[in-house]
Every structure is written in C-alpha cells, then in structure tokens.
Chains A and B, each alone.
Chain A
Amino acid sequence: MNRFKWLTVSTLIFFVSGCTLYSGAGPAGSSSMSSADGNDPSSYGMGTDGDDSMERIGDDSFAEPLDTIIYFDFDRSDLRLEYDDLVSAYAQRLNANTLATVRLEGHADERGSREYNIGLGERRAQAVRRAMMLNGVSANQITTVSYGEERPMAFGSNESSYQQNRRVEIVVIN
C-alpha cells in the first residue's frame, strides 16, 4: 500500500513539474500563450518556407534624376536638337507610368512687353509639349503654364542672364 501511494504521488509530482516546465517555454510563434502580466496576445507571421513564390520589385528608374531645364535661343521657340534625348527620356517614363503628369513651365527674358512675353514663354512650353506628344505621351499627362519674364533665374540685363531665362522647366508630378 505505501509503495502504490508513493508511485502515484511521485508520478503526479512528475507530471505537474513537467507541465510547469512546458508552459514557460512554448515554441516561438505559438499563438495562444498568455503572458504573466495579462497583455493582449501578439501574433507573429510564419514567413514563407517555399522557393516558388516571386517577389515584386518596384520601378526604380525614376531614381536617376533627369535634367529639368531646356534652354532656347533668342526669339526662338523651336527645340534645339541637343534636347531630343532628354525629351525621349521623359516620354519613356511618362509612357511607363500613365498616372504621372508633367507640368511644363515656360519663361522668356525680360526684354519687351510683359504679356507678350507670356506668349513667348507659352510657345516654348508648347514646343516641349509637342515633342513629348510626338514621343507618344498622351495630352492629358501634360499641362503648361507660362511665367513670361515674371520668374527669372538670372537677374542681370545682359545676354548671359537673358540666355538663362529663356527656358522651359519640367516639373514631374506623380
């Protein structure tokens, strides 16, 4: 009789201590543990374990910055040939991302009448717009605004300043 009692008690003790052991050290990721201080449970993901899933990589071509200013000759609004590649590069990006838009801001140098210079700035912006559209960009991705002589980059009254002011600035809006 004593021997039987002793066996039962020791087995019980053994099991109780065993349970206690286990409850403290559940495997990482187990989702139904309650911690000692009573916080809400936190859940953890299990991650992938297979090799046949693919990961999507975002378009990082916009990371490389493009020139944003196109310059024009005196009294001209036609695009110089040297800008063909730049226009192409913008067109490529706009064609690849049809939600992106671009705002072309036209400018003129300070000589002559202000509202007429708004017209000159607009002519230049339109020249860039047409070039982009010829490269396949759709019209609703392009807006133009002309600041005429109102937003100069250079402030002198000499040819060097005038040259810097005869320009179109390209602003990409995503």
Chain B
Amino acid sequence: MFNNKKILLFLIALLIQNISKAELTIRITQGVGKLTPVAIVPFGYDESSANLSKEITEIISNDLLRSGRFSSTPIENMLQKPTTGAEIDFDDWSILGVEAVVVGKITKGRNNSFNIQFQLFDIFKREQIVGYRLPANESTLRRSAHRIADMVFEELTGIRGVFDTKVAYVRSNVSRDRSSYALVVSDSDGENEQIILESKDPIMSPSWSPDSRLLSYVSFEGNMSSIFVQNLRTGNRRKISELPGINGSPAFSPDGRQLVLTLGGSDGNLDIHILDIASRKLKRLTYNRAIDTEATWAPNGEEIYFTSDRGGSPQIYKMKVNADRATRVTFEGSYNARPRLSPDGNKLAMVHQYRGDYRIAILDIKEENFLILSSGKQDESPSFAPNSDTLIYATKLRGNGVLETVTADGLVRQRMAPKLGDIREPVWSPFLKL
C-alpha cells in the first residue's frame, strides 16, 4: 500500500532539486567561504620614517583585505607589536586565532632612500614562510608595498598576487553643452591616477602591450575614429590606423608585434584585420557582411576570438589567424559579445544578456561551464588580471559608471571606490616589469 503523501513529498523534493540544479549554472554566487585570519603588524620605523611606515602598513593591509580572502586583526587587539621575527611571541597570536603574521620595519638607506624589510610567519608551525629586504624611496614606496602584499598573498594562497599591477580606463564628463574625456592609468587599488590623454572627443578601447610600456586606443579627434599607440613613459603617440570609415577595437598580440583591429571602410562593413606594427601591413581576417568586431587574441597567439552578428544577433566566434573559417563559441542566450580570454587560456569572459540585463559571464573553455559573475543592468568591458584569478569590469551605480572586481569563480565581488566622472572600459595591465 502506497503512502500517497510520502510519494507526493518525494516528487516535490525531486522537482525542487531539479529546479535548483538548472539554476546552478546561472546563479550569481556571493558567498566568500572561510577567510584566513592574518595580522599585519605596523611596520617599525626610525625618527624620519614614521609616516612611511604608516603608508606601507596600510597599503599591504588594504591589498590583502581587498582580495576578499583574509580577515585582519585590528591594531588595538594586538597583544604585541614585533617588527622582527625574533620578537614574535607565538602564543600572543595563537590566542587571537591568527594563522599568519606579517612583521617588518623601515631603516634608513643611502641619500634619500631607505630599506623595507618584512617577514611572514606561520603561527601554527612557528616558523618563517618568507622574508625580504627591499631598497626603496619616496617614488617607489607604493610599488614596494604592493610587491610585499603580492609575496604574502602568493605564499598564503598559492596564487600569484596582482597588487603590483596597473589598470587603464576611460573617464568621461559629458553634459549637454560640453564634453571631456580622459585616458587614465592607476594602481590596481585605484590610487595614483595618471592622465595619459585628455580630449574633448571620445576615447575608447584601451589595450596594453605585453611589456606594459604601450597603450593602444581609439580616438575620435578630428571627427573620425583612428587608432593610436602611445608610449606611457614618454607620452609620445603615433597614429597607426586612419583608414576611411571606422578604425576600432585594437588589441595587442601576445608578442606585441601586431594589433588585431576592426576596419569599416567607406561602405561601413566592419571586419577584423591584423596590422603588423612595424611594417604597417594589413591582413584581412573576415569578409562577412555582418558586424565583426571586438577581436582579442588567444594567449598562444594562434587564434582570434571576436564578436559577430552573422547569425542574427551578437555571439562570440573564434578563428585561427591563418585560416578563413570561424566557429561559434557561445550558445547561451541571444547576446554574447566583447570576448576576453584569461591569460592562462582556460576561461572566456564576455558581456551576456540575461533577462534584459547586460552582465559579465564566464565560460570555462574545457569544462564548458557557464557562470554569470555580475548582477547589474549595464555591466560591460570585462578584463582579466594577469593571474587569471580576478576580473575587473564596468558597471553603473545610480547612473554613473564605476568599476568592480570579481574573482573568476564568482565568490568575491568588490566595488572600487567611486571616483569623479563616469568611468568605463577598464583594462588590467600584464605583470609589470621591475
């Protein structure tokens, strides 16, 4: 004899489980998992370097906290403030539940320079994990602090840190009567902004060269679109494409010698081309009547991924650089655009339309998992950090453009502090050379 009620409950449970399974691939994850408790003890200083110590300690602390993987001990809770490993009393830290401690100090060097030394200790094992002394001065201070944060991060997570990297983005100030645009480069934490280009005409699509020395971008000066390459150190810039019609969407190749770009010609048929920077030779890749644009390189330099609406609405396609046939890559939903591959080649980020909203989504190329990472209405321009672990993208906060970061697994999402102006099109730099 069957118990109808039990069967009904069983069927309902099955149904609920199936519904949540179907939702799993597109649910936005927000939980953070376990945070590793660390302590960053204020760095020691001599009479001349008190504020330097404060700045370095803050940068390291903020970097680690911003990664969303750590909790840090408030200074007022610290039972001791060692500046070297020898001074550490491990019991004082295990009482607080702290798993790792960073201690350090600043000492005077020659002329106006100084030395920053730091040590990272494992409280449970009661031993040093890593320790270094770096020479630094006022102008290299921020970078040195970021590099220390990177080393601590990598030792504790196994993932290479990206605190010592840069971000480029476009800022606009537009109203009915006037408009100004700027191309800006800042530290990965949004600090230390430097204006690369200022214009009354729109600027778009910045792209880093692999050695981080150049930025390529589109400028609308002179009532037309053209592509420039600019040296970040000197500020010198070269116009590299100004053919009739559209010149757009430049992206450096992994070896830095080529740019893939979009040309429209006089008849406005957007297609992908590859430009050899030294010889200025152009090679055309697509011959489609559709809009083909937003091309990007695979890290192996052999394939291009791009947006095409040849199928009726924008989807992402890929093709080999030396071939002429493209294959479609995205099959979720009716709008997928602006592809960007992770530097390790495993993941593809894109702009994906989800129930009328435009969101950042990520496709695992091997596993074919599809995950929506963001939750706004107008999210766009995803860009991977060089460690392939985190992405930055643009979204809107009360109508104004701001930047957010999210880890590739969707678990940690952070908003970068809003700045003046409307910020868009962030691009994460490669790892910087020293």
Chain A residues with CB under 8 Å of chain B are: 103, 110-116, 118-120, 122-123, 125-126, 129, 139, 143-148, 150-152, 155-157
Contacts and interface: CB of A to CB of B under 8 A. Distances in A.
B338 A151 contact: no
B246 A118 contact: yes
B248 interface: yes
Contacts of B307: 113, 115-116
Given A113-B351, A114-B425, 12 more contacts: A112-B380, A115-B294, A119-B246, A119-B291, A122-B245, A122-B268, A126-B267, A143-B244, A144-B245, A152-B174, A155-B174, A157-B378
Nearest to A153: B176
Contacts of A114: 204-205, 338, 380-381, 424-425
B179 A151 contact: yes
A123 B268 contact: yes
Interface string B266-284: 1110100000000000000
Contact of B338 (A113, A148, A150): A113
A112 B294 contact: no
A30 to B, nearest CB: 56
B224 A145 contact: yes
A115 B308 CA distance: 11
Nearest to B250: A115
Interface string B219-249: 0100111000000000000000000111011
B291 A113 contact: no
Contact of A115 (B248, B267, B268): B248
Contacts of B337: 112-113, 116
Given A112-B335, A145-B225, A150 B204 contact: yes
B202 interface: yes
A43 to B, nearest CB: 46
Nearest to B264: A122
Contacts of A145: 220, 223-225, 246
Interface in B408-422: none
A156 B244 CA distance: 32
Interface residues of B, number: 40
A164 B353 CA distance: 22
A72 B249 CA distance: 24
B119 interface: no
B293 interface: yes
B294 A113 contact: yes
B358 interface: yes
Contacts of B353: 112
Interface of B: 174, 179, 202, 204-205, 220, 223-225, 244-246, 248-249, 262, 264, 266-268, 270, 291, 293-294, 307, 309, 314, 335, 337-338, 351, 353, 358, 377-378, 380-381, 396, 399, 424-425
Contact of B293 (A103, A115, A143, A144): A115
A144 B266 CA distance: 8
Nearest to A127: B268
Contacts, number: 102
16 contacts: A112-B358, A113-B338, A114-B338, A114-B425, A115-B204, A115-B205, A116-B307, A116-B309, A118-B262, A119-B309, A122-B246, A126-B268, A143-B224, A144-B266, A145-B225, A147-B220
A115 B378 contact: no
Contacts of B335: 112
A115 B262 contact: yes
Contacts of A118: 204, 225, 246, 248-249, 262, 270, 293
Nearest to B307: A116
Contact of B314 (A103, A113, A129, A156): A113
Nearest to A124: B268
A117 to B, nearest CB: 10
Contacts of A148: 204
B273 to A, nearest CB: 14
B268 A125 contact: yes
5 closest cross-chain pairs (CB), A and B: A119-B291, A126-B268, A150-B202, A113-B337, A113-B338
A148 B380 CA distance: 15
A150 B401 CA distance: 13
A80 to B, nearest CB: 19
Nearest to B262: A115
Contact of A139 (B220, B266, B338): B266
A13 to B, nearest CB: 80
Nearest to B294: A115
B323 to A, nearest CB: 23
Nearest to A146: B246
A116 B337 CA distance: 8
Contacts of B314: 112-113, 116
B400 to A, nearest CB: 10
Nearest to B244: A143
B211 to A, nearest CB: 24
Contacts of A111: 358, 378
Contacts of B244: 143
Contacts of B220: 145, 147, 150
A103 B266 CA distance: 12
Contacts of B399: 155-157
Contacts of B270: 118-119, 122
Contacts of A143: 224, 244
A28 to B, nearest CB: 54
